[in-house]
A and B are shown apart, each in its own frame.
Chain A
């Protein structure tokens, strides 16, 4: 099958206009030895054959539509109202490009501006950009901003070990060619590490301290003294946040954050095996001119009507080239639109409600699981919707047992934290009914036998 519209007659007319005989004549600049190579690829399919093949591949996966899903660790199964997808399927949005030409892109531009405004409201920051690739790359870009703010006089970044391991890894990947020292996350076991432990790493070379809120194990920590120590040392404090938790808990702005980054996936974006997601990035006013990536500003058109446009362009790679601090030239436009529609639909009360239901059901689940013989949950810590469970058997065995009962169990923490052998990270959202939680508890009890 093909989406090429040409007829034979048209092809001939076009070739004649160009002044050649065949399409092949157009490729003479390619060395003949390498021209028109053999392609060892499958034959083309009709749409119905392709659809059937894709359907079969999709059905070969165990997923949150068929299973009770209790896995989070940075990606969460929340309810997505139908209207979100209906807006995303407007091809005026999804088949448009980056809004370089504002006069024919006001739809995209205004939606991004509204998204930025909502993200400011959620995070308590003054400015948000149009997004980065995901939460992890947002953190990597935060490191870049902090280095720039220090005018590259400082090169030390302190990471709380409770930041998602993939995020810390991505930040290290991004900065492997720069002279940056990452400290703070190599020492104590994560379950015992506290924010205060990080204070000793902060010195006059520290450009930024980063923490996660709630942390990777779901806990809400008190960062008060750490924020103070960071600011006293002249460094920036960056919060990596779950935006859904911000519907309930104090905003990072209120807690003193300078930069707030995180994964926007919980805001109306499907799990989709890890992407596309949405890296949000918000800062205080004084750093707005240092952020990489697109940012949309309000302005006027020549007749004085309100209009929107990508602004602060001179910082960008297409103008500053080798002087740009980042090469990012897109955002996750459609995912920012999804979050914007989702937050509009949920609104002030709905979002808080989603967070409350998730909180309550997670606490119910934690309490019930902690009662099962052989399992242990530290219920004394404040947490949002995720918690670590010490299990009586290897997690792979338990999860195998759960799958057979229609449940996708928690994430095995040992993969990222060797000291957390036999620990699983359980996430609960509004998608998990009481019945599902009771089923999980029952199955866990059985699995222990």
Chain B
């Protein structure tokens, strides 16, 4: 099944949209400044709808089947979230609207900030960052700014466990600091001896994921925090796995100084095929003044006659600055606010309880079928090896591709890097037992197929719109645009070095 490109169904002179007349006395356009080419498709509205509906059929999505993609928390995205985010009072609100006329939006942001802070035991939160990676970046910039503000210029290193998300070391170097990798011990926890050896007065802080990317709570986490603090560093928690922690433990109480939340993971805002998201950051009192802004604040408490205080936007006094134009992905704020409002505090605790229940159930049922490098009670996800005993030449990738034939999205492959042939499985709390049982049965079937008919796995998938794609060809014969670009006059190449 393939779908033509929208340009391939275009015909000159066709249009999908009628627009009103200019309706005012016209002035002459500045001809010498106008462009001649505008190579956009010309199609009807029905052609557009069919094209994109056909494309939509070529996607796996949460609404079409289980999506146990570890570290991504592909939980159900409640439909009310989509409706409320599109309310005219939100959708048509200009980002630079006067604060007096934006009180509903500001109140929403204010409460969301407070709730996120409360959930993690922090002093305050900023919901400006657009994605987890941007939240991480904000966190590391804050740690850097904190040390500089105290006149400590030596601290240029950030410790990162070898199990970390690839964004962690990338974030550190983006902030102009140096990432120092720490090994994990055989249980998947931080190796305390290696940590001790790495700690000195050049360490600005440490980034760590809780539960770890292997899906387990680091039993020595308090020791890790204490040791880093004693060496003068700050602790950053990568909150990608927050779905295991709500109402279970507050990172702020464990001693973390800063963390990011992924509203598109834990708080059900949709992933949108790769964004938009929101990577809010929470901090303790040490870092409050450094938060990225602007932040929604109460600028005037409610008087006796009024129901609500006056809200406004403020830049924290020592802010690391703006990370985006305006004040963040507000549409995501609305969805996350709604999600928290519907569940309430106890409901969110229940979310994490069931996320962990589901992961442990699948893990328990697949023990003995696939190797489990960390064989203990897990958090909201667990890692196993894409190996079938007695069969050579079957890889995590083959198992992943074969899963697609059963209408199941593969788990995360080849991450964390420290587990060979890793398959990271995160069912989320919104999957029911029957769906999990089916997933478990399919995983068992595939393990059997690997023994009986390995070619079935190597040639998978068979039922998807396209078969395995040639990624090498894509990178070598790079084609990223389907249209020729007009050959303009020179001015093209810098003439210097």
Contacts and interface: CB of A to CB of B under 8 A. Distances in A.
Given A95-B270, A117-B7, A178-B176, A103 B404 contact: yes
Contacts of B102: 61-62, 273
B63 interface: yes
B485 A125 contact: yes
Interface in B7-49: 7, 10, 14-17, 19-20, 22-27, 29-30, 33-35, 37-43, 45, 48-49
B163 interface: no
Nearest to A135: B325
A320 B469 contact: no
B483 A121 contact: yes
A126 B481 contact: yes
B482 A117 contact: yes
Given A227-B491, A273-B102, A1 B166 contact: no
Interface in A154-176: 164, 166-167, 169-170, 172-174, 176
Interface stretch (A49-57, A186-194, A370-378): A49-57
Given A41-B118, A95-B77, A127-B480, A136 B322 contact: yes
B314 interface: no
A99 B221 CA distance: 34
Contacts of A179: 176
B321 A170 contact: yes
A266 to B, nearest CB: 13
A417 interface: no
A328 B40 contact: no
Nearest to A106: B58
Interface string B95-134: 1111001111101100000010011010000000011111
Interface in A366-411: 382, 399, 403, 408, 411
Interface residues of B, number: 207
B170 interface: yes
A447 interface: no
Contacts of B7: 114, 117
A193 B427 CA distance: 57
Given A126-B485, A204-B496, A288-B480, A106 B323 contact: no
B494 A29 contact: no
B491 A26 contact: no
Mostly, the B contact residues are: loop
A338 to B, nearest CB: 10
B287 interface: no
Interface string A16-36: 011110011011111100111
Interface residues of A, number: 224
A44 interface: yes
Given A34-B253, A90-B53, A99 B273 contact: yes
Contact of A99 (B45, B274, B489): B274
Nearest to A102: B469
A239 to B, nearest CB: 12
A97 B271 contact: yes
Nearest to A320: B170
A228 B491 CA distance: 7
Nearest to A108: B273
Interface stretch (B193-201, B297-305, B329-337, B384-392): B329-337
A118 B40 contact: yes
Interface stretch (B83-91, B228-236, B442-450): B83-91
A350 to B, nearest CB: 5
Nearest to A129: B480
A345 B465 CA distance: 26
A341 B52 contact: yes
A434 interface: yes
Contacts of A295: 480
Contacts of A127: 480-481
Which 5 pairs from chain A and chain B are nearest by CB? A234-B496, A177-B176, A274-B326, A58-B89, A44-B344
20 contacts: A34-B250, A37-B249, A41-B345, A60-B103, A65-B89, A71-B97, A98-B275, A101-B60, A103-B464, A107-B55, A111-B273, A136-B325, A174-B174, A177-B144, A230-B494, A249-B33, A271-B93, A299-B477, A324-B170, A347-B41
Given A204-B496, A231-B491, A302-B467, 15 more contacts: A6-B433, A31-B249, A60-B89, A64-B94, A93-B59, A96-B61, A101-B400, A106-B58, A126-B485, A170-B325, A276-B275, A296-B480, A330-B133, A343-B40, A350-B17
